[in-house]
Chain A
Amino acid sequence: MSLDATATERAPSPWTGRALLRRLAVGDEVAHLVTLIFAFIVIIITALLVYQLWLNSFAARHEFGWHFWLSRTWDPVLEHFGAAPFIYGTLVTSAVSLIIAVPLGLAAAIFLSELAPRNISDTISFLIDLLAAVPSVIFGLLGIFIIVPLMRTMIGPALKHTLGFLPLFQGPNYGVGFLTAGIVLAIMVVPFIISVSREVLLTVPRDQREAALALGATRWESTWKVVVPWARTGITGSIFLGLARAVGETMAVTMVIGNDPKIVTSLFAPGYTIAAVIANEFSEATGKIYLSALIELGLVLFMITLILNGLARLLIIATERGGGHP
């Protein structure tokens, strides 16, 4: 590495006191050491986190074993705990949010990077970045006061009227439930997808576009067939960044999902997510098994995130093998 090369040039015997001082004074070694330590701290924190979750969930793991993942009962009185409804709720709300947010976010990013005049693009991007910084409780309030009533009076009935033959859109519609939570999450996730995707699209080299245009492609063809495939890896990354936020979101979800731990096909039905139940019940949980079951839910959430991230890596590797961008 260049760093080692310059270091050996400057100091023939690196660990004698004076040489070390000089190297420290130059700054390279210090930077190397400090960044190394910080990088390790991140890993250590993650490892400690998993260790603590594992340690403190002992009572629940011992009591329920693998049934914890499959059981549908969550009964703090009889101390029967199962994570299935929460895992289901977490996955369904995240999936709904991505189904809404990905087309929206991608289209907006393409417009902002490829089609919009630069000054308009910059202004809008600034506003979108602001949106990404809004605290989640605000989105929760937006959900309660605007989306829940809309869902009950307009969106819900309209979906029932048009797609009511699907089991997804049947049953009573209270305004709160999987679909509402998914919509609120989509609003929270979209800014991430737009912001990162736009940056990635802007880094696609100009000659790629010019080459496509020179071959007779229209502007849209060059965008869709050349620019977007080139930026595919970065766009996938932005989607998974959004997914990570959706999976772990607590406040906004618990305010609009109905908090009922059941596995139901209907998206109108109330549900529950892992993050929401931990936030709701942790402070008042008494008893060893109850507390450790909540902590094991945290472990489950961590593992789900890990699995999703692994899948994301696989997806990126698979698409890269498919050709296109090196």
Chain B
Amino acid sequence: MKKTVLSMLLLLGLAVAASAQPPDNTVLLNAAGATFPYPIYSKWFSDYHQAHPNVQINYQSIGSGGGIQQLKAGTVDFGASDMPLNDQLLGQFNFKIIQFPTVLGAVVPTYNVPGISGDLKFTAKALSDIFLGKVTKWNDSEIAGSNPGVKLPSDDIVVIHRSDGSGTTFVWTDYLSKVNADWKSKVGSNTSVNWPVGLGGKGNEGVSGLVKQTPGSIGYVELIYALQNHMGFGLVQNADGKFIKASLPSVTQAASGVAAKMKSDVRISITDASGAETYPICSFTYLLIPETISDAAKRDAIKAFLNWMLTTGQGSVQALNYAQLPKAVVAIEMKHIAEIK
């Protein structure tokens, strides 16, 4: 009896050990981080695994903050973040990080104004003053001025923002900080901020749900979310003075304008970028790769994947409603791959 139990335990132990140990030439990479690019990342990792069966990448979309923490603790091989890591955050790591922009996202204003069905146009001043609580009525001259011919009601504006920490909030507040000095000094930009006014909804669906239900409300959601759910959203005036309705090409446009500046630092913010056709509220999302990877097999796998992601991978981006990287940015990142040692 005892012997059978013992041998069964042994067998069980062997089975567990065997299942945990992949075949010799397989490279298993663990990654964690941002939720915004999760759909495209999981498609990339699965496509890449099919093309290269010996490389398997597990990605957990636990949020940018969690990804950064895990990378810092060394429990994952690389991380992902919607917000580029600033020098202060990089200083907390005991190794160097190279940041790779992967795709582009945009954030759009969505609203529910009684009696208005068409697309409203917003100036930068209108958006920032609404979110500062300075513009409180829909028929305020700042909104009415850019929407001639539209009969705006005198209803109160209800501001809706994200309650959960999110890259979407970072992009939105980064934009407001750039176009409004008051916003920059009083509120600033981060994944969560101290909102001057408004209600918080959890996630894109929470914000859009509150906007749909609350007459007179305005909120912001990711462009992808708006496109996938066929939601209407407003036009935003760009740095050149033109009102642009966000679309994938207008987002890629924003990035190509700043490509020259990215040679020295890829972390550059692309909100409020110049260019006639540029949509002003968009940003990159990043993969965070350690500069030194001691395991040669892992290093080669990561480098090969980055190469694939910047070439073949970019082809499948638009089908999932992400904007692809401009060619000039891809060229810069290709050089950075060589720096991984």
Contacts and interface: CB of A to CB of B under 8 A. Distances in A.
B195 A285 contact: no
B164 interface: yes
B165 interface: yes
Interface residues of A, number: 33
A74 B158 contact: no
Contact of A148 (B156, B158, B213): B213
Interface stretch (B11-19, B57-65, B266-274, B306-314): B57-65
Contact of B165 (A148, A176, A272, A281): A281
B62 A283 contact: yes
B214 A280 contact: no
B102 interface: no
Contacts of A284: 63-66, 164-167, 191-192
Nearest to A261: B194
B136 to A, nearest CB: 11
B163 interface: yes
Given A73-B194, A287-B89, A259 B202 contact: yes
Interface centre among A260, A281, A284 (most CB of B within 10 A): A284
A125 to B, nearest CB: 34
A285 B194 contact: no
A258 B200 contact: yes
B194 A75 contact: yes
A270 interface: yes
Contacts of B210: 176
A152 B216 CA distance: 13
B191 A260 contact: no
A283 B164 contact: yes
Nearest to B217: A174
A229 interface: no
B294 interface: no
A74 B163 CA distance: 13
A78 interface: yes
A194 interface: no
A138 B301 CA distance: 43
Contacts of B164: 279-281, 283-284
A77 B165 contact: no
A276 B210 CA distance: 17
Interface stretch (B37-45, B125-133, B182-190): B182-190
Nearest to A281: B165
B330 interface: no
Given A259-B163, A283-B63, A285-B165, A77 B194 contact: yes
B174 to A, nearest CB: 11
B113 interface: no
Contacts of A287: 88-89
Given A76-B190, A76-B192, A176-B210, A260 B64 contact: no
A174 B197 CA distance: 13
B213 A281 contact: no
Given A280-B164, A284-B165, A75 B202 contact: no
A260 B92 contact: no
A279 B203 CA distance: 12
A235 interface: no
A148 B217 CA distance: 15
B214 A286 contact: no
B209 interface: yes
B201 interface: yes
Contacts of A148: 213
A279 B202 CA distance: 10
A291 B66 CA distance: 10
A76 B199 contact: no
Contact of B65 (A254, A272, A286): A286
B68 interface: yes
Contacts of A259: 163, 199-202
Contacts of B165: 76, 280-285
A260 B199 contact: yes
24 contacts: A74-B194, A76-B193, A78-B194, A175-B213, A176-B199, A254-B202, A255-B202, A259-B199, A259-B200, A260-B198, A270-B200, A280-B164, A281-B165, A281-B191, A281-B192, A282-B165, A283-B62, A283-B63, A284-B63, A284-B65, A284-B66, A285-B192, A286-B68, A291-B65
- Ranked 10 nearest A-B pairs via Cβ: A284-B165, A259-B200, A283-B63, A259-B163, A77-B188, A75-B194, A280-B164, A284-B191, A258-B199, A284-B65
